[in-house]
Structure 1
Amino acid sequence: MKYFRCIQYRSSIRVPSTQKKILKALGMKKLGKSKVLLYCPSVLGMVKKVEHLVKVELC
């Protein structure tokens, strides 16, 4: 199985509520925190929606 690390580097203030919900679903709680996520189409779609708020690194 493939994994990747997602790091939130921009705040969720002044973004649409749908994007805030996506960040919450991904487990992003605070700036600078990272989360290791499974490399699957559903997660990649969520990351694509908030790509301006997070950085992605392959593990």
Structure 2
Amino acid sequence: MANKTDGKSAAKTIVVEQTGSPIRRPSDQRATLLGLGLNRIRRRSTLQDTPAVRGMIAKVAHLVRVVDGA
């Protein structure tokens, strides 16, 4: 029973790419982009696919796009 994974499978990941500028956007949207690990257009970030991350993506959906659901 060594090497048991405790019933947890590998965490799904999601890749998001910044497509819009945070200039002239509310500060909470800027903070959300930073929380997603994005700070420049065309920069990509690989994140765990959790409800919290999905909510952050929904909040700035007009500034990012989901590239891959790896």
The question of 1:15 aligning with 2:15 is answered no
Between structures 1 and 2, the one with greater strand share = 1
Higher relative contact order by CA 8 Å / sep ≥ 6: 1 or 2? Answer: 1
Q: CA deviation at 1:29?
A: 1.3
Within the alignment, does 1:56 sit opposite 2:62 as a pair? no
**After TM superposition, which residue ranges in structure 1, 4 or more long, deviate above 6 angstroms?**
none
Unaligned segments of structure 1, at least 5 residues: none
**Aligned Cα root-mean-square deviation (Å):** 0.7
- Paired residues, number: 59
Gaps of 5+ in 2: 1-10
> TM-score w.r.t. structure 1 length?
0.94
Give per-residue Cα distances to partners, 1:32-52, cap 9 Å, x unaligned. Answer: 110001000111111100000
TM-score w.r.t. the length of structure 2 is 0.80
Higher-Rg member (1/2):
2
